[in-house]
């Protein structure tokens, strides 16, 4: 088995990375940053986002597991003190994986150019300096004209990240779905939006269409993109899925409880 390790690059994460490499090589595993079967992320959820994007071309061949050197993470749910236990599990246990849905983002430009992205957490769209104005279509039908700060389209596992801060719902990652959440919509006698987050199932799509020639700031997870000459951006549940190595049960709702309610 080949493994790779992504570190947040602080001294504790780097130290753990060195230890993990030594232990795993002692068990006969091979260090390989390019074609790993398993990627161990050491840092936080943000570190796992980096690891995910680094290997997003071969998601069907790689499983991720995360150690948190800061607070408990949703993707990074192993403690540094459990390193030896994790190494033993990787070396000795049959790899069992859980798969989570991803968001597919298709950006169409007026020139006809088109780019695709995969998000593990979410994609957001804002417009610098001026109010974002976009038509929102659901499955090709006009739903509303949105005016406000921006829009967030999140995966179920990303629902505990930016989406949660925007008042969106927490969605269990067993659901093949994505969520559209508003950022400060303008609502008055003239302008109307639904106001609630929408949860869309697999095979539905949401398309955002600019109403005027604006410059847009988009994010896909931690990646920032500036978009000019935007025709539309389409969102749907991706056919690709992300695989997490699971060596012990740590149910999603327990992670939600321990992260947001209490950890005793």
Residue nearest to ligand NAP (CB): 46
184 annotated binding-site participant: yes
Residue 101 touches which of Mn ion, ligand NAP, none (Cβ within 5-8 Å per kind): none
Is 45 catalytic? The answer is yes
Residue 70 touches which of ligand NAP, Mn ion, none (Cβ within 5-8 Å per kind): ligand NAP
Residue 74 touches which of Mn ion, ligand NAP, none (Cβ within 5-8 Å per kind): ligand NAP
121 annotated binding-site participant: yes
If one asks whether residue 160 binds ligand NAP (CB under 6 A), the answer comes out as yes
User: What's phi and psi for 210, nearest 5 deg?
Assistant: -65, 145
Alpha carbon distance 145, 133 (integer Å) = 7
45 annotated binding-site participant: yes
If one asks whether residue 162 binds ligand NAP (CB under 6 A), the answer comes out as yes
Which residues lie closer than 8 Å to 223 by C-beta, 6 or more apart? 53, 117
Stretch that binds ligand NAP, among 138-146, 152-160, 177-185, 187-195 (CB under 6 A): 152-160
228 annotated binding-site participant: no
If one asks whether residue 158 binds ligand NAP (CB under 6 A), the answer comes out as yes
Q: Between residues 27 and 260, which has the closer beta carbon with respect to ligand NAP?
A: 260
Site for ligand NAP in 49-68 (CB under 6 A): 49
Site for Mn ion in 33-52 (CB under 5 A): 44, 46
If one asks whether residue 184 binds ligand NAP (CB under 6 A), the answer comes out as no
Size of the site for Mn ion (CB under 5 A): 2
Residue 104 touches which of ligand NAP, Mn ion, none (Cβ within 5-8 Å per kind): none
Residue nearest to Mn ion (CB): 46
Which residues lie closer than 8 Å to 30 by C-beta, 6 or more apart? 1, 2, 3
Q: Which of 221, 237, 242, 247 is close enough to bind ligand NAP by CB under 6 A?
A: 221
Three-state SS letters, the chain: CEEEEEECCCHHHHHHHHHHHHHHHHCCCEECCCCCCEEEEEECHHHHHHHHHHCHHHHHHCEEEEEECCCCCCCEEECHHHHHHHHHHHHHCCCCEEEEEEEEEEEEECCCCEEEEEECCEEEEECCCCCEEEEEEECCEEEEEEEEEEEEEECCHHHHCHHHHCCCCCCCCCCCEEEEEEEEECCCCCCCCCCCCEEEECCCCEEEEECCCCCEEEEECCEEEEECCEEEEEEEEEEEEEEEECCCCCCHHHHHHHHHHCCC
Catalytic residue positions? 45
Residues at the site binding ligand NAP, with contacts judged by CB under 6 A? 44-46, 49, 70, 73-74, 76, 121-122, 157-158, 160-162, 165, 221-222
Please give the annotated binding residues for NAD(+), written as ranges: 45-46, 50, 121-122, 147, 149, 184
Residues at the site binding Mn ion, with contacts judged by CB under 5 A? 44, 46
């Amino acid at each position: 088995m080949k493994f790779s390790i992504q570190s947040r690059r602080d001294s504790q994460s780097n130290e753990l990375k060195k230890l993990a490499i030594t232990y795993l090589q002692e068990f006969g595993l091979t260090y390989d940053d390019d074609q790993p079967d398993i990627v161990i992320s050491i840092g936080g959820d943000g570190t796992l986002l980096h690891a995910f994007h680094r290997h997003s071309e071969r998601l069907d061949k790689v499983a991720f597991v995360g150690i948190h050197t800061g607070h408990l993470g949703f993707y990074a749910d192993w403690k540094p003190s459990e390193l030896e236990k994790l190494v033993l599990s990787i070396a000795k246990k049959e790899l069992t994986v859980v798969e989570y849905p991803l968001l597919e983002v298709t950006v169409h430009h007026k020139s006809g150019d088109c780019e695709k992205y995969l998000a593990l957490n979410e994609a957001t769209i804002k417009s610098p300096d001026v109010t974002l104005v976009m038509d929102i279509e659901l499955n090709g039908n006009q739903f509303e004209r949105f005016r406000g700060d921006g829009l967030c389209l999140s995966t179920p596992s990303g629902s505990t990240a930016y989406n949660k801060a925007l008042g969106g719902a927490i969605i269990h990652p067993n659901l093949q779905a994505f969520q559209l959440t508003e950022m400060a919509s303008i609502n008055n006698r003239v302008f109307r939006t639904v106001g609630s987050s929408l949860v869309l199932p697999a095979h539905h799509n949401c398309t955002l269409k600019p109403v005027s020639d604006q410059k847009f700031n988009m994010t896909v997870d931690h990646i920032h993109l500036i978009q000019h000459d935007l025709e539309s951006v389409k969102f749907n549940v991706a056919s690709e899925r992300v695989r997490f190595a699971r060596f012990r049960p740590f149910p999603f709702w327990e992670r939600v409880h321990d992260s947001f309610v209490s950890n005793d």
